[in-house]
Structure 1
Amino acid sequence: MLIGEVSRRSGVSTRMLRHYDSLGLVQPTGRTSGGYREYSADDIRRLFHVESLRTLGLSLNDAKRALDEADFAPTDLVGDLIRHTRRRIAAEEELLAKLERVDAAAPVEWDDVLRIVALLRALESESGARRQQAVLSHDESAPLPVEALVEAALSEDDPNVAGALRWSLARAAGRGLADLAAGLESEEVDVRRRAIAAITAVHTAEATALLRGALDDPDATVRGRAALALGSRGSADSIPALLDMVVAGHNDVEAAEVLGLLAEISPRADDVVGVLQGNLDNADDAPTRLRITQALAEIPGPAAREALVRLTHDGDPTIAATAAAIVSTQDRGRGSRRQSEC
């Protein structure tokens, strides 16, 4: 069979067949009287063997060794090919993910694409300063690769970079909340903590709903961040969690301040005082009773005032002195307001 017919039947170009010949990989065993290459059935069979090996990723040199060397062991070579292929697939998947992130940002011009790519590359930097600078310096008019920012926010350990990422996601006006919500479902507590921290920076109805759901999280830090954010937004749903924070001593000062804010705008001020009083009566350790006493100072209204007056006669001298100091400060404040009104 002449080279042209071999090419047509095998799909291998005549140029490549000549290259195989020059390498000694597939050499026609005969020549016509006119000097043209003539391939035998064995030559064609060898050609198909070469093409089969090439589909596995073997180089031409390795294919020749596999066919010509009797002691050639394929195990090591196939193992190398497997590792090489996995690296190539991983690289291709990484490229695909990057392209999808660029596409999701909906760039309008090539300048937008370049800015997004530059930000994505900077997020992969080992330098925290570079990652932070890239996020903070991203042009506000340029599209944001929100999915990439969320992924970075859920894995970022550097507090400065994490803060920059939360700021950037807050600018996205709610985009990315679905991915952050998925972060709240993670089995890793650190991921959930990062997710709730990012969600608290977003002021939308959807974000508020996610905060309410996080009040049931098994981690106290996640619950606490959700409660503080909800309470600051005027949601009474956070009151039970805030009360628990005061009793447990988990960000109790901030929790008491938010409880005071809620008591001013919610008809549940007396309920808050009642729960605090109940915990105070049942607590048998001084630090917890002191925290509750100090929290009462943040609650407006006569119920909190009466509770503090009663505590001025508490059997624990520290509690009594603290309550007396709070009542005295409140009295001075009332006196100053009366003078200013006059």
Structure 2
Amino acid sequence: MALAKEADIALGLFTMTTERATAVDFTDHVSINYARILAARGSPEVTLWGFLQPLTTNVWIGILAALVVYMLVMVMPSCISDKTLTRSRLMRSSFHCVRVLLQQDVDEGSSWWWWERVVLGVWMLMTLVLTRSYSGNLMALLAVRLIPEPFQALEDLFKHPVQIIMVKGTAEEQAFRTATSGIKQKIWNLRKENRIMRVGAAQLDGVHVILLEGKSAMINLDVYHKKIMASEFTKTGSCMFSLGNMRYIPAVEAMAGRKDSPLVPALGRKIVQMTQSGLYDYWQKKFFPNLTSCLNSPTKFAITTPLAIRNIWGMFLLLAGGWIASFLVLFVEICFLVPLQGCPHATDERCEIDPRSFKEDNTPH
């Protein structure tokens, strides 16, 4: 309307762009905002492999590497001299570390060398600290529920097949539409998969209903996201949305007027006085009293209810997997290893007794 000279001033805040500056004149900026992602908050969930979370992946890898090093340290001296290398000593030296890690007993024999006792003592001290730390962190994690917020950056939109909502005619949509490379172009190409929903400004009042279904995410200026979050908090008293951390497309917003209109610079001076005195921020908080109520809402909270089977069934799954693996090993031993160890029955025709396997007193080796 300002371009058609039907209006002198456009009262709404518009993002300054090069294309728009060729059609209208902008006043001094009122605010600076950024495009962010708004989506519905997930419900509290329990991780299936929560019992692995007390230790990071690097720590688990370090434990496995320490086990291998410990076995090599305990076995290498025995391998130097064939006279001291026996099957029982090899098994004792290499698998005592596993027994200590699993908090099982370790036999104390007179054949232990002093250096073996020192190495085993150091390993016991390390596993003591490790197991106590693990058990303490595990108890804390089992008492905490996590609210997932998967959409923190634009890259997360590719990991989850949600529909992306954009507002027609905005500078933010134009930035994605005109992108020739990078993440913005990849997101705009998702329209070929019908994952881009373009809505008009008049439809923004109903967008929150679509977002609450959990199948969509919206890209818009964070000031409009905050208003949606504040309105929903005022109605329900709960924070139903999550705002992404990453910020994109800086938007300098101002009012617009006719080209070469004397009203634009005059109004610009008043806007500078308004923003510097803090009136704009005051008006926002006045009309949206809960504007910042959900900006730092917690994503973790403690529970006091008893643990259910759904909270720890990952441990039972691991136990079942261990049972299955042990039965498979038992089957292999019965079917393949036992027949190779000798003749189970003297009357078996398949057995051929080797005379060299007996001494002079007819006792087998």
Q: Note whether the superposition's TM-score is higher than 0.5.
A: no
TM-score bucket of the superposed structures, by smaller chain:
under 0.3
Q: Select the structure that is richer in strand.
A: 2
Q: Select the structure that is richer in helix.
A: 1
Q: TM-score, normalised by structure 1?
A: 0.20
Higher relative contact order (CA 8 A, sep 6+): 2
